[in-house]
């Protein structure tokens, strides 16, 4: 557990799965995300990602040491969460060990936005990544959240993030 001001950040556990799904839906099912390649376009896609995510969470929260999901919990619900995944890549000057952290699904409940929760879970994850010998952390963002990540020390790479689905059904690119 880590403290960020008066906020307490902890690692998620299997009892948090329903709440983690609820929070991630703010990212994947938000009408403002329409057109983004990761957004659900209908109820079938929503049901599919939720079922797959439930399974993924169950596996990761039972002892995967390459994943941490940081949460800020309130009395009745989770208020924020974010996920870090350690990836082994080919070494580079910026990442000589090849150990890179991928940060994703940073989301606060809309009722709690502007309270520093996103910064708290992001700080927790970057500290966790450092303790595991990770050389760099990367994330993708939307235009609306770019300023938040810049203030947290993330810089543009000058590269474009490209996407291609490998699914045989569903969206095509």
Is 110 inside any structural domain?
yes
Residue 45 lies in a domain: yes
Cβ atoms within 10 A of the Cβ of 66, count?
13
CATH classification of the domain holding 25 = 3.40.630.30
Cβ-contact 109, 26 below 8 angstroms:
yes
> How many domains is the chain built from?
1
Give the dihedral of Cα atoms 58, 59, 63, 64; nearest 10 deg.
-130
DSSP structure string for 39-75: S--SHHHHHHHHHHHHHHHHHHTTT-TTEEEEEEE-S
Tens of pLDDT, residue by residue over 85-142, are 999 999 999 899 999 999 999 999 999 999 999 999 999 999 999 999 999 999 988 8
| pLDDT surpasses 80 at 80 | yes
Q: Which of 132-136, 152-156, 157-161 has the lowest mean pLDDT?
A: 157-161
Residue 85 lies in a domain: yes
pLDDT value for 172:
45
Q: Look at the block and give the residue holding tokens 């969470």.
A: 57
Residue whose token pair is 């906020």: 7
Cα–Cα distance for residue pair 7/11, rounded to 1 Å: 13
List the domain range (segments joined by +) for residue 134. 2-151
- Kindly state whether residue 118 falls inside one of the protein's structural domains: yes
The answer to whether residue 66 is domain-embedded is yes
User: Is 128 among the domain residues?
Assistant: yes
- CA dist 149 and 139 (Å) reads 9
Q: Which helix (H) or strand (E) holds 171?
A: none
With H, G, I as helix, E, B as strand and everything else as coil, classify residue 124.
helix
Supply the pLDDT for residue 160.
Answer: 83
Structural domain contains residue 160: no
Q: What's the pTM value of the predicted model, to 2 decimals? A: 0.88
Q: In whole numbers, what is the pLDDT of the chain averaged over residues? A: 90
| CB of 116 closer than 8 Å to CB of 71 | no
Place of tokens 């009395």: 75
Q: Is residue 100 part of a domain?
A: yes
- Residue 165 pLDDT class (50, 70, 90 cuts): confident
8 Å CB contact between 24 and 53? yes
Q: For residues 25 and 31, give the distance between their C-alpha atoms in angstroms, rounded to a whole number.
A: 11
Tell me the CB-side half-sphere exposure of residue 66, using CA atoms within 13 A: 9
């Amino acid at each position: 557990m880590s403290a960020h001001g008066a906020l307490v950040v902890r690692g998620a556990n299997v009892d948090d799965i329903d709440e983690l799904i609820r929070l991630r839906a703010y990212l994947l099912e938000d009408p403002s995300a329409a057109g983004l390649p990761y957004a659900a376009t209908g109820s079938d896609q929503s049901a599919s990602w939720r079922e797959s995510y439930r399974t993924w969470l169950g596996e990761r929260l039972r002892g995967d040491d390459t994943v941490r999901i940081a949460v800020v919990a309130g009395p009745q619900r989770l208020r924020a969460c974010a996920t870090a995944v350690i990836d082994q890549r080919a070494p580079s000057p910026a990442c000589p060990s090849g150990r890179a952290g991928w940060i994703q699904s940073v989301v606060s409940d809309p009722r709690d936005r502007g309270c520093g929760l996103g910064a708290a879970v992001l700080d927790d994850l970057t500290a966790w990544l450092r303790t595991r010998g990770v050389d760099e952390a990367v994330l993708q963002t939307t235009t609306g959240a770019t300023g938040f990540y810049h203030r947290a020390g993330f810089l543009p790479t000058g590269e474009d993030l490209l996407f291609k689905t490998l699914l045989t059904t569903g969206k095509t690119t």
